Amino acid sequence: MAELRLQTTGAGVVASSEFTLDGLEEAIKGKGTAWLDILKPDDEVKEWLQNIGIDELAIEDIYGHASDTVQRFHGHRFIVVRARDADNRLDTEPVAIILRGDMMITVRGTRIPALDVLGRRLKTADDDEVAIGVDFLLYELLDSIADDWTPILSEYSNKLDDLEYQVFDPSKSYEGLLEGLHDLKRLLREASKSIESLQAACLRLLKPGERLINESSLAFFTDLQQLSNTLVKRCSAYSAGATSTRDTYLSHVSMNLALSNAKLTEVMTTLTIIGAIMLPLTLIAGIFGMNTKLPAQLDELGGFWTIMAGMSLFSIMMLSWFYRKKWI
């Protein structure tokens, strides 16, 4: 069953027991601009939207896979933006917004923290701002979504600073750096979906010649556009910083691996040279150490020194050859 919340600028929050969808027009009459928030819409809500003349394309977006959009239909405007989900900061969910007469309708499938902020803002809004009408409610909603990301991006910035320090800290080896950088990029990518949808919505609402807001709210939406541009730039800068830090970390890992391989190669080269020298000497010692009479009278006392001299000469020749080949 859908959860309904009704708030007006004249009477504040209206208890859900005091109105129904079919009697909504009567419930808000004479109470100023109204905001109806619908959580988890069902078939009853769908039928009501059809009865009040909401375009079928808008209803299809609400109950299907809603894409970011800003459209004008006959008698109402339809906007879809993405906002942070209350359950998980990694997720962003679409919020469908319908502006019809003096009423703003929001439809969503999950809890959105920015909408709770909107309810508090409307309670403290100035009379001059409320007099602007439903466009002011739309501005407050979009501005609440933008403000919701400001402290989150500051957290991401601090996290990036910590990861950069750990990457460049030579005194200690930190675990999970690469995973942390990947997680940060994923968080920034998800934040971009919401922030960029706000930026696109502001550009469409303020499009010269096809402006979808009234002149009295122009200054508010211009300020909101500047805020969304700033958030987009921050998100892009942090994402680029995370990418650069990750590349630096991978470069350090590759450099350390190359140094380790160079040391291993040096050790293996030394062992190979020793083995290459000892192998023929072992062969000579094995041949002349056999339990048989040696030829050329090498079994006499002087034969020992002759063999040793030959082995030394052979070793010197091999070392000389290795040196000429620049192996040592």
pLDDT digits (tens, 9 = 90+) for 139-176: 999 999 999 999 999 999 999 999 988 888 877 878 88
Average pLDDT, the chain: 86
Burial (0-12, 13-18, 19+ Cβ within 10 Å), 229: middle
Query: Which residue has 């319908």 as its token pair?
Result: 98
Per-residue confidence band for 314, with pLDDT thresholds at 50, 70 and 90: confident
> Are the beta carbons of 199 and 228 closer than 8 angstroms?
yes
As a whole number, mean pLDDT of residues 113-137 equals: 91
**Out of 27-41, 47-61, 287-301, least confident range:** 287-301
> What are the domain boundaries of the chain?
3-255, 262-324
- Percent of the chain whose predicted confidence (pLDDT) is above 90: 46
Q: What tokens were used for 220?
A: 């508010």
Q: What tokens were used for 111?
A: 């809890």
- Rounded to whole angstroms, the Cα distance separating 104 from 313 reads 100
As a whole number, mean pLDDT of residues 17-45 equals: 90
pLDDT at 257: 82
Per CATH, domain 3-255 is 3.40.50.2300: no
Neighbours of 232 (CB within 10 A): 17
As a whole number, mean pLDDT of residues 126-144 equals: 92
Is pLDDT above 80 for 309?
no
What does pTM read for this prediction? Answer: 0.77
Is pLDDT above 90 for 282?
no
> Are the beta carbons of 185 and 106 closer than 8 angstroms?
no
Is pLDDT above 70 for 242?
yes
Which is nearest to 12 in space by CA: 102, 123, 116, 118? 123
> Are the beta carbons of 143 and 227 closer than 8 angstroms?
yes
Is pLDDT above 60 for 85?
yes
Q: What is the pLDDT of residues 207-218, one digit of tens each?
A: 888 888 988 999
Per-residue confidence band for 304, with pLDDT thresholds at 50, 70 and 90: low
- Rounded to whole angstroms, the Cα distance separating 311 from 303 reads 12
Q: What tokens were used for 209?
A: 């010649």
